[in-house]
Amino acid sequence: MSIARKILSNTAAQLAGKAFMALLGIAVVKICTNYLSVKDYGEYVMIYEFLAFFGIAADLGLFTIAVKEMSKDESKTTKLIGNILSLRTILVLVTMTAAVITVFLIPGYKNTYIPIGVAIASITTFLTILNGTISSVLQSRLKMEYASVAMVIGKAVSVGLMVYVAFFGFPQNKEAGFLMLIGAGIVGNLVMTLITNHYVRKITTLEYRFDFDVWKEVFFQALPYGIALILNTVYFRVNSIFISFMRGQEEVGIYAVAMRMLEQLTVLPLYFMNSVLPVLTRSLEEKNDKYKIIIRYAFDFLAAMAVPMAVGGIVLSSQIIRVISNSDYLSREGFYGSDMALKIMVLAVLFQFLNILFSFILVALTKQIKLLYISGACVLFNILVNFITVPMYGFRGAAATSVLSELFILIGTYTVAKKYLDFSINFKNLAKIIFSSVVMGLTIYMLEPLSDQYLKHWGILLLIPIGMIVYTTMLFATKTVSKEMMALIKKTPSDGGSHLN
């Protein structure tokens, strides 16, 4: 199997898993927004937004560094994963303890579900980070289909328990039900971690190791990238904190419906680039020009996913929000709803899809410190703009700030990556992708009134497949998908080798 096909196969497995995860994630939003009030849903979201700030500190970029190092030398897998597992476990215990103590000291969260919710949900974060740590072994071997299976089963368990809580166990007792919804997440993540552990143990031994020389090496290698991730989390999630304190939990709930929808998408480029990273790293280590092809096709792939998502999200925003929540979250006269947040935030997701490529190039070049500088500058920019826009425009100002922040990161990472590595982007292909996406958008825009007349908001289930067909047809019609690209994917070593073999 060619390297190109391995990358796409590994990514496809993750995308298939993520497709199921997205559907289950939408089910969670639907259950919560219909079971809880808008204010209570805002508090539910704030619990996980609050924990995200602390959880990313426990991540510290160790997953990406683990994948990179295990890809260089598979014989070191057992030693590396054992030490990273120990290091990450200590980090997550410290950060979760800090999160629980901190949340109980914040006056604004008194008389809300948030403090006790953070205390319970910290267990979910612990399990998520533990699962992510051991799954780095699967990623380094391009076997993420097993991790995808674990995630889907774990999420399905959570959703099943949430259905029980909302419709059978606590339909009237919303206070107890709120906490039970959080408990459902713990059970699901435990199931996911146990399944991932089973598959990883087929590849390597899993045991805590305390080789402090290894700790020191991976810690300081990961630290710049880890701090950059923390800063990225700040500028991506700080919006909810600003909205919470300046505008209230109800507006957090309105904003969060769109955010939860888009969060299902933001991991897609990460999955893809985690599959590309081992190959890109080896190519740079071998000092050959294969990396130029890898980068060019990686950019095309990411753009081909992101641009139609942005166009479709703008055109179908109202229908999407109606399906995943209810009419309380839709815009109406004198009220901006989650559909407005979605229209703005899809542009942030578009830029995020593209900038992750250049961030990973810097990681592969061991230039993580540059990411730190870029992310630090972006955080300062984000906080300053949020201070100005959120009091005046609420979540609309926060959403627009996210778009500008992601564009800031895109320009910064591209400029720095270009400085240290000679590569090129096929902007002609990007133009074709944009054109194909616009044709798709116009098609579903014209069909939307007809579908709404006969199928109401469920017409989206017809419009999305039609849009995909139109977009795919346009990609081939404009020759965005070239014969060379198709041959590259199909080619095997027995064919005499390919550019990416």
Alpha carbon distance 360, 233 (integer Å): 16
Alpha carbon distance 37, 43 (integer Å): 10
Helix (H) or strand (E) holding 29: helix 3-35
Residue 332 is given by DSSP the state B
Question: What pLDDT sits at residue 126?
Answer: 93
What global pTM score does this model have?
0.72
Tokens of 249: 């939990």
Tokens of 493: 């070593």
End-to-end distance of the chain based on CA atoms, in angstroms? Answer: 8
Alpha carbon distance 258, 21 (integer Å): 16
| pLDDT tens profile 419-455 | 999 888 989 999 999 999 999 999 999 998 888 777 7
Query: Most distant CA pair in the chain: distance in Å?
Result: 68
Asked if 122 and 100 touch (Cβ cutoff 8 Å), the reply is: yes
Helices (H) and strands (E) in the chain, counts: 17, 0
Which segments in the chain show pLDDT lower than 70? 1-18, 71-73, 142, 144, 225, 229, 232-233, 235-236, 457, 482-501
The residue type at 265: L
C-alpha separations of 247 from 243, 339, 399, 405, 442 in Å: 5, 18, 14, 21, 36
The DSSP-derived string for 112-174 is SSHHHHHHHHHHHHHHHHHHHHHHHHHHHTT-THHHHHHHHHHHHHHHHHHHHIIIIISSS-H
Asked if 338 and 346 touch (Cβ cutoff 8 Å), the reply is: no
Asked if 216 and 65 touch (Cβ cutoff 8 Å), the reply is: no
50-88 burial code (b ≥16 CB/10 A, e <16): bbbbbbbbbbbbbbbbbbbbbbeeeeebbbbbbbbbbbb
Residues β-bridged to residue 335: 332
Question: What pLDDT sits at residue 202?
Answer: 86
| pLDDT tens profile 279-296 | 888 888 877 778 888 898
The residue type at 94: V
The residue type at 376: G
Residues in the chain: 501
Pure H helices in 165-211: 174-200
Residue 460 main-chain phi, psi, to 5 deg: -60, -30
Residues β-bridged to residue 332: 335
Alpha carbon distance 452, 459 (integer Å): 6
Asked if 288 and 499 touch (Cβ cutoff 8 Å), the reply is: no
Alpha carbon distance 21, 157 (integer Å): 12
The residue written with tokens 């925003």 in the block is 317
